[in-house]
Structure 1
Amino acid sequence: MAFGRRRVEEPPMETVGWADVQTFVVSSVERPVTVKRKHAVRGKPAVRVARGSRDLRILAPCAFLGTTDTQQPGLPSRPHHTLYETETRGLLCYVEPAVDSAGELRHVVRDGRGECIGTVVRVPRKRRPFKHTWRIEQPGHPEIVGRNEWASGDAKEIAGRFAAKILEEVVDNALSGGEGSDRPSKPRSLEWRAENKVVMVSEGSDKVTVRKGWVDRRLAFAFALLGDR
């Protein structure tokens, strides 16, 4: 008779639909470390959404990043700026290289048929201490502007967030030993607003949450592929 703990049965890894996802990450991790899973399991780089219980959480793919082996011939995009519906076929969308327009870097995003579905724009900073911002142009909808979370909203909201941001940086510097520390900096959070309503939020390029159904998920994916750099 065998003794010991019963082996935990892992949930299956299945591809989920991409059109209605809310929170996603771009990662190769399929099964992250949990209290019941001591080691992470990796797969293909993909856009992934969390599924299952906290103890047996999985990150199910909804679109796969291209590779040099799977890249469709003739596409202008880089493999890691190209998404497929399966690991090897079914072109979903791709992000074209940037075109500089008066300092703005404009990335056209096209669907699998080559039709333009929108543009992701990196907007250079206008003054210190602000960094660059972003804009998503989706035909038929108001433009979506992505700014630092603490610099988004009306004047009163900005003032309150700015004070909180300064205090947070003072505490972080005290804990990390100040400038020159080996402690990694946190990715900045962006609020994406259309007509002054938050439609999407992002934490660096690691985690993106879409809050309004009309936002084309492929444009949100495109921002994550480009990275907040």
Structure 2
Amino acid sequence: MFGRKREEPQIAPVPWDTEGPFVVGEVVRPAAVRQKGLSGRRAVRMSVTLDGVRYFAAAAFVEQRAPEVRSYELYDAIRAQELLCTIAPVRGGSGSGERYAVRDQAGRELGLVFRTGAAKRTVQHGWWLRQPGHPDIVARYHWARGGAKQIAARGRDATVRGADGLVAGVVDSVIAGATAADSRSHVRPTKPVTWCAEDEVALTAGHTQRIKSYIPQASWLDRRLAFALAVLRQD
């Protein structure tokens, strides 16, 4: 009927292990000119297109039982009661900073997420990952010089040579439409962040429609560990 308000579409959840970029948040559809945004439960989300419109479909719901504690549970968005992993702080340990253990539904450790205290940071980004059986997954600041092994020798801070150019190419090719829209709106782009395991790119963070977006790139990287990093960085 003429003048009747158009019903919002139902955006079906997607498998959590689907390859491709993901975001964390409540945004299902960002606000646009003459169009309000659409929100839902806090979740790890992936970009989908419906009738030519970009949406962010839930892949894993994020639950935080106590707002004052940085401890989370991630549930499969398709099978909502199926636990994917837990994220919980690890007490103790030497040095400044924070550690979070990521465990699967059986309690097996998938890896650790670290946040280095500001006073201890030199050329390495504060957030980094450790997955059993692989080198530490770290990111350098954009001004850092030298290769991964060179910087690793300086206080375990690691990076890769020429990472900025590689990250720019990845972000442009994977989320080009969204970043192009941002550039047209004269929003100053932020520098992408690339996490590397020695000389292998493992994870990249850029922006999709002004929302922080993550692109897992190493085939061996457990996506749940990447989800944990994104959830912790958001808070």
TM-score using structure 1 length: 0.68
Query: What residue in structure 2 maps to residue 64 of structure 1?
Result: 61
Deviation string 1:180-213 (CA, Å, 9 cap, x unpaired) is: xxxxx97663210112122211249922111122
What are the residue-to-residue correspondences of 1:1-229 with 2, within 5 Å?
12-34=10-32, 38-52=35-49, 55-68=52-65, 78=70, 81-86=72-77, 89-99=81-91, 100-125=93-118, 130=123, 132-151=125-144, 154=147, 189-203=192-206, 206-227=212-233
Q: Secondary structure at the match of 1:148?
A: coil
Q: Secondary structure at the match of 2:103?
A: strand
Q: Could you tell me how far 1:44 is from its partner in structure 2?
A: 0.4
Q: Secondary structure at the match of 2:19?
A: coil
Q: Could you tell me how far 1:60 is from its partner in structure 2?
A: 0.5
Q: Give the Cα separation in 2 of the matches to 1:210 and 1:54.
A: 27
Deviation string 1:86-122 (CA, Å, 9 cap, x unpaired) is: 4852111111114343224221111111111111112
Q: Secondary structure at the match of 1:147?
A: coil
Query: What residue in structure 1 maps to residue 174 of structure 2?
Result: none
Query: What residue in structure 1 maps to residue 175 of structure 2?
Result: none
Give the alignment's Cα RMSD to 1 decimal. Answer: 3.8
Q: How many residues align?
A: 196
Q: Which moved more, 1:210-219 or 1:96-105?
A: 96-105
Q: Which moved more, 1:102-111 or 1:131-140?
A: 131-140
Q: Give the Cα separation in 1 of the matches to 2:22 and 2:220.
A: 17
Q: Could you tell me how far 1:57 is from its partner in structure 2?
A: 0.9
Which sections of structure 2, spanning at least 5 residues, go unmatched?
151-159, 166-187
Instruction: Provide the identity percentage.
Output: 35
TM-score using structure 2 length: 0.67
Q: Give the Cα separation in 2 of the matches to 1:51 and 1:199.
A: 23
Instruction: Indicate how the Cα distance of structure 1 residues 67 and 119 shifts in structure 2: closer, same or farther if over 3 A, else same.
Output: closer
- Contact 1:152/1:191 (CA < 8 Å) preserved in 2? no
